[in-house]
Amino acid sequence: MSSQRGRVIELYKTLLYLGREYPQGYDYFRTRCHGAFMKNKDLPPEQVEKWLGKGQYIIKELEALYMLKKYRTLKRRYYPDD
């Protein structure tokens, strides 16, 4: 699936998978994600590449958000609050 269409579908599926633990809820994330993809469905191929890059950036940011959440949970569990 190295075609542009395949990469867009893979990005969408990855974002939906990562959105399961989104702080504001999965339904909020899913509707926003779906809306963004539908809004940009008729872009020319050059702009699709740009948006795929932005999608990869969003994936990295979500992963960082979840790692920070996990770190804060572990910190609260083992160290008393001041």
pLDDT tens digits in sequence order for the chain, 82 residues long = 468 999 999 999 999 999 998 889 999 999 999 999 999 999 998 999 999 999 999 999 999 988 888 888 888 888 877 6
Question: For the chain, what is the largest distance between any 2 Cα atoms, rounded to a whole number of angstroms?
Answer: 54
Would the pTM of this model clear 0.85, i.e. be above it? no
Domain range for 33 is 4-78
* Structural contact between residues 26 and 19, judged by C-beta atoms closer than 8 angstroms: yes
Query: How far is the C-alpha of 65 from the C-alpha of 59, rounded, in Å?
Result: 10
Report how far apart the first and last C-alpha atoms of the chain are (Å, whole number).
52
* Structural contact between residues 45 and 4, judged by C-beta atoms closer than 8 angstroms: yes
Structural domains counted in the chain? 1
Tell me which residue has tokens 């539908």. Answer: 38
